[in-house]
Structure 1
Amino acid sequence: MKVKLEVVVMAAFLILAIAGAPRAGVNPGDTITKDQADKVADLVSPGNLILVKQGMTMKIVPSDRLEWPPPYKSATEKYSPQVTLAPDGALKGYSAGLPFPLVDANDPQAALKVMWNFSYRPLYTDDAISKNVEIASYKPGSTAADPVEHFTIGNVGFYNNTGRTEVNPIPTDPEAKNSGIRYRFGAYPFLEPAEMRGFGFIRYRSLDPKVEDNSWMMNPRTRHTRRASASELSDVFGLLDTAAGGGSGGAGTYASNLDPDSFFGFAAKIEDFNYKFLGEKPMLAVVNAENSPAKACPTDGGRTICPENWEMRRLYVIEADAKQASAIAAGASIPKRIFYIDSEGWFITASDQYDRDGKLWKTIATFNAYRDRPVPDARVAIWPFKRMFQTALVDEDVTNGFSTVVLSPGVETDEHESWYINMGLATENFFNPVAMSNAAH
C-alpha cells in the first residue's frame, strides 16, 4: 500500500508539472478579463466561461500541491485495499480515507470510483460547522452592494457516521450500524430575510442505496416542523414555496438559484445517478483562494467572486444522469450535470447543469482554500495542518444571468472564523428536528 501511495504522489507531481506548463497563452501572473475570455475557453467549463465573459476576472497563479490531512492519508493506506464496488455500484468494505487512491481512466467503473472518492473526499471527514453563512442573489444590472435578495443561515453542519479520521469514534460511529444512517446535514435557522426567519432543514443520508434521504423542514409561518420529500431538496422552488407557506408565491418572493442537491457542487445521493467518464483534463480552478471572506466581483455586479487565484489543475470530467426511476420518484429538476473534480482534493470545482431538453441551464463555480485556518486572525478554528474548505460558491442561471452567491464565511458578521472542521462541535443534538424547531422560536 505504501508503494501504491508513492505512485500516487509521483503521479501528482507529474500532473502538476503538466498543469503548471504555459497553455493557450495563460501563464502565472496573467489577469484574465472578459475581453480575454477566449484565452481560457478550453480551460474552464462551458458554463464557467460564460461567467468570465460577463466579467469574472481571473488571476492566474502557479499550481501547488494539496496535501491530504495526515490522519486521512493514514486511513487511506490502511483501509483502501479492502474497498470494492458491488455489482449495483454500491461501495463495499469502506471504513475511512479515500476509497480508490488509483483511478484508471480505462476502467469501466472509473466514473463511479471518482464519484465515490468525491463523496468521501478529505474536506470534512468527521464533522463540521459553518456559522453565519451568507447567500446573496443578483440579476444583471444589480450591484454587489444591492442584491435582489440576501439570506443569512445561523449554522450549516455535517456529522459523518462513517469515514471518520480525527474525532472519536474512529473510523465508524456505532450508530451507523444501529440506525443505518451514513451522515446528517442541517442548515438552520435562517436569520434573514425577516419573512424566512426561523426556516431550516435537516437531512439524513442512509447507507442503504435503496433508502432515500429522510428530511425535515421548519416552516416559519406555521411554526411547525414537517417531513419533506426528496423532490423538495432537488428543486429550489420547492424549498422556497415551503418557506412561504405553499403556492407559487414563495418562488417569486424569495429569489435564489441554489437547491440543496447542489450544495458544495453536488449533494444528491450517489446511487441515484448513472455516470460517464468524459476524461482527465488540465483546467483552471480555485483551490488556493486568496480572500476569506471572499470578495464580490466588482466587474460583473457582484454576480461572482473576483478577482481570485485560479491555477492549472488536473481535473476529472464526469457526466451524471439521473436514473429514470429515481428521477421520476424524486422529481429531479436537473436531469444532467457535468462535474469537474480535482484529482488531489477530490472536490467539485465546477458543475454545468442541463435542462430536460439537453440545453445548458445553470453553472456552478466553487472557490476553495487550503490553509491551517479559515481566516488569518482565527483564534479558535486553527488546525495542526493545512486542510481544504470552501470559501464561496456561485450558482448562475446562464439563460438569464441571475446568480446566487454563497459565502462561508460571510462578510456581515463578526463571526468570521466560520469553519470549524473536525473539532467535535457538530453534535447529534444539532441534527434533531426538535432542536431546529426550538431554534426557530
Structure 2
Amino acid sequence: MKLLIQSTTLSLSLLTGAALAAVTPEQAAQLGKNLTPLGAEQAGNADGSIPAWTGGLGKNSGKQNPQGFLDDPYASEQPLFTITAQNAEQYKDKLSPGQLAMLKRYPDSYRLPVYPSHRSVALPDSVYAAARSNAQNTQLVAGGNGLTNFQTAYPFPIPQNGQEVVWNHLTRYRGGSMKRISVQATPEKSGAFTPVTFKMEFTYRDQLKDFDPANPGNVLFYYKEEVVSPARLAGSVLLVHETLDQVKEPRLAWLYNAGQRRVRRAPQVAYDGPYPASEGLRVGDNFDMYNGAQDRYDWKLIGKRELYIPYNSFKLDSPKLKYDDIVKAGHLNPEFARYELHRVWEVEATLKPGERHVYAKRVFFIDEDSWQIVLADHYDARGTLWRVGEGHLQPYYNVQVPWLAVEIVYDLLNGRYIVSGMKNEESKGVEFGVKALAADYTPAALRNAGVR
C-alpha cells in the first residue's frame, strides 16, 4: 500500500481540491515556519530517516575547480544498504512502479545504493520572497494552462491540485540564465554508444538585459541548443520561446538545418513530437523530465509519499569519470548513483478523451524541497509501463541552484535508454548568471549560430 503523508499544515480539501484561487495570507504565513520557504514540510519524518530541513547546503560547502565542478560534501559516506531484485520486496513501499520494473528488467545488474538523506537544497532569499508573494497572488488561467500574477519561480508553494505541482516544476529556479556543454548518449543493447555534444543556453525573461517589467509578454524563457558533434549532426540548432500560456500562444520553436542552411519553424518540438537527435527514445515533452503545455491531460494530485530517489548526485558528475564509466548496457552504472529517502509529491496525468499522445498515462514524483521531477513513469495505450524517467538531482550549492547531474529515459520494452546532461570529460561545466539580449534568441541569431 502506498504511504500517503498529509502535510501537517494542509487539509485534505486543500491537498486535492481543484480551486484556482491563490492561498490565504494565513496559509502563506506558514512558509518559513511549519513549511520551508518553498512549501516543503520543514520537519523530518517520524523515525528520523528523513531529517528536518535546516536551510540546505551553504555556499561554502566545498570548492569549485576551474572547470566548474564542485566538491562532493558527502564523499566520505558509504551506502546504508543496496536495493536489488533479490531484496526489492522488503522496500517496495518506498519504490516507484518504474523502479520496481527496472529491478525486474535487469535483475543481475540494476540496483539502488541507498545513502543517508540530506536535505541539501537552498535557494537565494529573493526566490523565497517571490514564492511567498506568488502563493498569495498567482492564479491558474485557461483551465490551468497559464499563469497570472507570477514572478520569478514557484507559483504555488502551497499547491491545491496536480497542475499547480507541475507548474512548480516547470517554473523552478535554475539560476535565471545558464550556458553549458551537455553530452548525450543513446547506447545500443550492447552498451556501445556515440556521444552527442550540445552547446545549450537559456535565459528567463526577467534576466534579459532588455527586459521590461511593465510589459513582460507571454514568454517565460528562451532556450537554444546547438549540436557540436558528431560531424553528421554538427551545426544543427534548436531555438525555443517557452510561453506561460501555451494554449493561448503555443510554444514557438525553430530548427536550423546545417545541411540546408535554412531556418524552419518546428511546431513538432512539443508534446509527443520527436525530440532532435534522440533516436526516438524520447519525445518533445520528455526533456527536462517534463516540459510544455498540460492541456492534453487530466491531472490528479495523489498526495505525498516517501521514496528512495536519486539525490545529491555529485559522484555521478565527477570529472574523474569517463563517459564509458557511466554509460553501460541497459542502464547507467549504479556504482556512481546515489539514492536517498525523501518526501515526494505524486501526480498522475491521464490522457483526455479525444486527445493524442504516445503516453496514455504518466505518473510524476516531485521532490518536495526543489520541486524537481525526479522519477517519471510513462504508460502506453494498453496500460503497459513503457518508459521510466530518472532525474539525478545535484545542488549547485555555490550559486544556490538545484540542478540535475543527468536525466535518463529508460525504455523497458526495447532495452535501450537515453541519458543527457553529462559533462564529466568537458573542459567547462555550467555557467550561471549569463546575461543576454532578446535579440540573441531570434531566428536570425539561430542562423548565425548554425553556420559552419
Q: Which residue of 2 aligns with 1:283?
A: 307
Fraction of identical pairs, as percent: 21
- Structure 1 residues 248-263: aligned runs within 5 Å: 255-263=279-287
| Aligned twin of 2:447 | 437
TM-score (norm 1): 0.78
Unaligned runs of 5+ in 2: 1-27, 52-77
Give the 5 Å matches for 1:178-193: 179-188=217-226, 190-193=227-230
Aligned residue in 1 for 2:6? none
Q: State the distance in 2 between where 1:100 and 1:260 align.
A: 25
Matching of residue 396 in structure 1 with residue 410 in structure 2: yes
Find 2:288's aligned residue among 260, 264, 272.
264
1:128 paired to 2:178: yes
2:236 aligned residue (199, 224, 239): 199
| Residue matched to 2:59 | none
- Other structure's SS at 2:407 match: strand
**Secondary structure of residue in 1 paired with 2:249:** coil
Question: Does the 8 Å contact 1:282/1:312 carry over to 2?
Answer: yes
After superposition, the Cα gap between the structure-2 partners of 1:234 and 1:116, relative to the gap in structure 1 and judged at 3 Å, is closer
Q: How does 1:38-437 map to 2 (within 5 A)?
A: 38-53=89-104, 54=106, 55-65=109-119, 66-86=121-141, 88-89=143-144, 90-103=146-159, 109-122=160-173, 124=174, 126-131=176-181, 133-142=182-191, 146-147=192-193, 149-153=194-198, 155-161=199-205, 164=206, 167=207, 173-174=211-212, 177=215, 179-188=217-226, 190-208=227-245, 209-229=247-267, 231-235=268-272, 237=274, 239=276, 255-293=279-317, 301=329, 303-307=331-335, 308-324=337-353, 327-328=355-356, 332-373=357-398, 383=399, 386-408=400-422, 410-415=423-428, 417=429, 419-421=430-432, 423-437=433-447
Give the match for residue 250 of structure 1. Answer: none
Listed one character per residue, the Cα deviations across residues 375-416 of structure 1 (whole Å, up to 9, x for unaligned) are: xxxxxxxx2xx33111101111111111111134x233222x
Q: 1:213 to 1:176 in 2, by over 3 A?
A: farther
The one-letter code of the counterpart of 1:98 is Y
Secondary structure at the counterpart of residue 288 of structure 1: coil
Instruction: State how far apart, in whole Å, the 1-side matches of 2:314 and 2:85 are.
Output: 20
Which structure has the highest helix share of the two? 1
Separation in 2 of the partners of 1:140 and 1:398?
Answer: 12
Q: Which residue of 2 aligns with 1:248?
A: none
Q: SS of 2:448's equivalent?
A: helix
The alpha carbon displacement at 1:212 in A equals 1.2
The Cα shift of 1:335 comes to: 3.5
Moved more, 279-288 or 9-18: 9-18
Match of 1:7 in 2: 34
Name the SS for the 1:42 alignment partner.
helix
Match of 1:413, SS state, is coil
Unaligned runs of 5+ in 1: 104-108, 241-253, 374-382
Aligned partner letter, 1:370: P
Q: Determine helix, strand or coil for the equivalent of 1:102.
A: coil
CA deviation string 1:222-267 (max 9, x = no partner): 12110112x3434464745xxxxxxxxxxxxx73513331111001
Q: Following TM superposition, by how much is the alpha carbon of 1:69 offset from its aligned partner in structure 2, in angstroms?
A: 2.6
What is the CA–CA distance in structure 2 between the aligned matches of 1:425 and 1:18, rounded to whole Å?
Answer: 46
Change (3 A) 1:48 1:69: farther
Distance change >3 Å, CA 424–CA 191, structure 1 → 2: closer
Distance 2:275 2:134 in 1: 40
Deviations 1:77-98 (A, max 9, x none): 3342112334722423222342
Q: Secondary structure at the match of 1:99?
A: coil
Aligned pair in 2 of structure 1 residues 76, 232: CA closer, same or farther (>3 Å)?
closer
CA distance in 2, matches of 1:317, 1:283: 10
Residue 87 of structure 2 aligns with which residue? Answer: 36
Q: Which amino acid aligns with 2:177?
A: D
State whether residues 182 and 205 of structure 1, in contact with CA within 8 Å, keep that contact through their aligned partners in structure 2: yes
Q: Which deviates further from its counterpart, 199-208 or 4-13?
A: 4-13
Shift of 1:210: 2.1
1:129, distance to aligned residue in structure 2 (A): 1.9
Give per-residue Cα distances to partners, 1:341-377, cap 9 Å, x unaligned.
011110000111112222211111011112424xxxx
